[in-house]
């Protein structure tokens, strides 16, 4: 067929005639390097002006399904490994008095093993035996291993609420306490190399249930990109004597334009080379390697700041799907120079990982972080500070 096909090669128009080139001259696409990941991200605001054949739809939600996370349905999940209760005083002062009818199974936040785990739930002794056993290899080309650790669900409320912003502040504080306690639990378990707390909200963010919840995965394997991130932080410390994240924070505070909010302990900003649109990074101004080592007061500030960021997101993009995750120093990392710095990234799901991104690993971001930060700052100006205190 190819031999007989008639083909005509048309010369490219010169730049002055090319509409695409004219556009490009007005809106130069820019790539930015993320010093933490080593990845270049392409910023191309033109992309968001594309015509769109598809109708925006918020995924429908089934109404006839019994929610396994609601109070009263505790037997449908594995037994809890952590339970947090709001003290009597908080219950009187708080806004969750509608739950008072059920004194049985009186919990506010509940952590259970995931019933559909991504990895094998192995107790400490078994972890140890897995570690010393040789890896199961068919050959060097087909290497496989059982993957062990823990996969837990943090059920954020006994009420069937969908957003963290519908929780009482006392519940939110408990959620972050649960993160801290469970991360500490896995950190102390022999063989655990990596821990990750994350939250998926909405179908396009990977959630399957709508009841407010987050998850924790702890594994005996160190992901390659986490290792590479740690290496970069380590190299920066060796070369400059400083923590890379602390240096970035200082530079962002000096540059100002990407900072969204700052208090005496925390900063929330849109990173210069953000690989995803509207991503907000939250961390402590003071150097701190591990989220799970945060003191009570700082942890409380973190939970309030996360609450605020989600209210901004919900204001800017009502019904948006979003994710957050906590980068904390992986237990498997030897870090004698204290080069790691924890952070929490929150981002709405605005773009798809498409063919180009899958094959190149290079993200195309249609929103500059300066624009995103300005949008968030408008939300800060409009917020009622009493709401989150």
State the helix-helix crossing angle for 169-187 and 296-316, rounded to 10 degrees. 120
User: Which lies closer to a copy of itself via its Cβ, residue 282 or residue 299?
Assistant: 299
What phi and psi values does residue 131 have, to the nearest 5 degrees? -65, -40
Contact region for a copy of itself (CB under 8 A) — 26-34, 284-292, 310-318, 334-342?
26-34
CB 234, CB 337: distance < 8 Å? yes
Instruction: With CA atoms as reference, report the closest residue to 41 among 349, 347, 258, 275.
Output: 275
User: Which lies closer to a copy of itself via its Cβ, residue 76 or residue 378?
Assistant: 76
**Contact with a copy of itself (CB under 8 A) among 104, 132, 354, 382:** 354
Which residue pairs, CB below 8 angstroms and at least 24 apart, start in 96-99?
96/159, 96/168, 96/170, 96/171, 98/159, 99/71, 99/158, 99/159
Q: x/- binding map, residues 124-163, to a copy of itself, per CB under 8 A?
A: --x-----------xxxxxxxxxx---x------------
Asked whether position 389 contacts a copy of itself by CB under 8 A, the answer is no
**Residue 370 CB, nearest distance to a copy of itself (Å)?**
11
Asked whether position 256 contacts a copy of itself by CB under 8 A, the answer is no
Query: What span, in angstroms and rounded, lies between the C-alpha atoms of 193 and 325?
Result: 17
Asked whether position 8 contacts a copy of itself by CB under 8 A, the answer is yes
Query: What span, in angstroms and rounded, lies between the C-alpha atoms of 264 and 258?
Result: 18
**Residue 334 CB, nearest distance to a copy of itself (Å)?**
19
Q: Which contiguous run of DSSP H or E holds residue 224?
A: helix 224-240
**Contact with a copy of itself (CB under 8 A) among 70, 73, 166, 198:** 198
**Residue 55 CB, nearest distance to a copy of itself (Å)?**
4
Instruction: With CA atoms as reference, report the closest residue to 101 among 69, 66, 71.
Output: 71
User: Which lies closer to a copy of itself via its Cβ, residue 104 or residue 116?
Assistant: 116
User: Which lies closer to a copy of itself via its Cβ, residue 66 or residue 264?
Assistant: 66
**Contact with a copy of itself (CB under 8 A) among 103, 134, 336, 355:** 355
Contact region for a copy of itself (CB under 8 A) — 204-212, 280-288, 307-315, 374-382?
204-212
CB 383, CB 311: distance < 8 Å? yes
How many residues in the chain?
389
What residues numbered 67-126 form the site for a copy of itself, per CB under 8 A? 67-68, 78-87, 89-90, 113-123, 126
The number of residues that bind a copy of itself (CB under 8 A) is 142
Three-state DSSP state, 274? coil
User: Which lies closer to a copy of itself via its Cβ, residue 163 or residue 351?
Assistant: 351
- Structure tokens belonging to residue 12: 């490219």
User: Which lies closer to a copy of itself via its Cβ, residue 126 or residue 378?
Assistant: 126
Instruction: With CA atoms as reference, report the closest residue to 125 among 193, 39, 189.
Output: 189
Asked whether position 54 contacts a copy of itself by CB under 8 A, the answer is yes
**Residue 200 CB, nearest distance to a copy of itself (Å)?**
5
Asked whether position 189 contacts a copy of itself by CB under 8 A, the answer is no
Asked whether position 62 contacts a copy of itself by CB under 8 A, the answer is yes
**Contact with a copy of itself (CB under 8 A) among 102, 161, 174, 259:** 174
What residues numbered 261-320 form the site for a copy of itself, per CB under 8 A? 272-273, 276, 296, 299-300
Query: What span, in angstroms and rounded, lies between the C-alpha atoms of 219 and 217?
Result: 7
Asked whether position 31 contacts a copy of itself by CB under 8 A, the answer is yes
Q: Which contiguous run of DSSP H or E holds residue 81?
A: none
- Structure tokens belonging to residue 137: 């290899």
User: Which lies closer to a copy of itself via its Cβ, residue 260 or residue 344?
Assistant: 344
CB 153, CB 213: distance < 8 Å? yes
Query: What span, in angstroms and rounded, lies between the C-alpha atoms of 348 and 356?
Result: 20
**Contact with a copy of itself (CB under 8 A) among 105, 128, 247, 293:** 247
Sign of the alpha-carbon torsion through 328, 331, 332, 337: positive
């Amino acid at each position: 067929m190819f031999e007989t096909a008639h083909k005509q090669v048309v010369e490219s128009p010169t730049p002055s005639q090319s509409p695409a080139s004219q556009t490009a001259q007005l809106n130069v696409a820019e790539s930015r390097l993320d010093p933490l990941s080593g990845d270049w991200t392409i910023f191309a605001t033109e992309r968001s002006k594309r015509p769109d054949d598809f109708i925006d739809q918020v995924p429908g939600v089934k109404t006839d399904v019994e929610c396994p996370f609601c109070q009263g349905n505790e037997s449908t999940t594995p037994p809890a490994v952590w339970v947090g209760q709001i003290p009597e005083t908080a219950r009187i002062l708080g806004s969750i008095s509608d739950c008072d009818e059920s004194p049985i199974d009186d919990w506010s936040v509940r952590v259970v093993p995931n019933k559909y785990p991504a990895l094998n739930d192995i107790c400490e002794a078994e972890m140890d035996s897995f570690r010393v056993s040789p890896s199961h290899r068919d050959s060097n080309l087909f290497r496989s291993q059982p993957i062990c650790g823990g996969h837990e669900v943090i059920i954020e409320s006994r009420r069937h609420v969908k957003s963290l912003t519908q929780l009482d502040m006392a519940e939110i504080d408990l959620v972050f306490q649960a993160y801290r306690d469970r991360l500490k639990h896995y950190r102390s378990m022999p063989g655990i190399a990596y821990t990750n707390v994350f939250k998926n909200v909405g179908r396009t963010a990977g959630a399957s249930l709508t009841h407010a919840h987050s998850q924790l995965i702890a594994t005996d394997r160190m992901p390659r990109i986490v290792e590479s991130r740690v290496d970069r932080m380590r190299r920066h410390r060796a070369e400059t004597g400083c923590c890379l994240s602390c240096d970035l924070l200082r530079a962002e505070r000096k540059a100002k334009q990407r900072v969204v909010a700052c208090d005496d302990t925390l900063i929330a900003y849109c990173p210069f080379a953000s690989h995803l649109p509207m991503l907000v990074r939250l961390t402590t101004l003071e150097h701190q390697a591990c989220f799970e080592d945060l003191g009570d007061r700082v942890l409380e500030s973190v939970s309030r700041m996360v609450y605020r960021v989600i209210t901004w997101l919900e204001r800017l993009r009502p019904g948006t799907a979003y994710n957050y995750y906590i980068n904390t120093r992986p237990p498997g990392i030897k870090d004698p120079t204290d080069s790691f710095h924890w952070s929490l990234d929150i981002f709405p799901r605005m773009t798809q990982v498409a063919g180009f991104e899958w094959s190149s690993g290079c993200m195309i971001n249609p929103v500059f972080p300066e624009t995103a930060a300005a949008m968030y700052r408008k939300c800060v100006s409009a917020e009622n500070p009493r709401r989150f205190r």
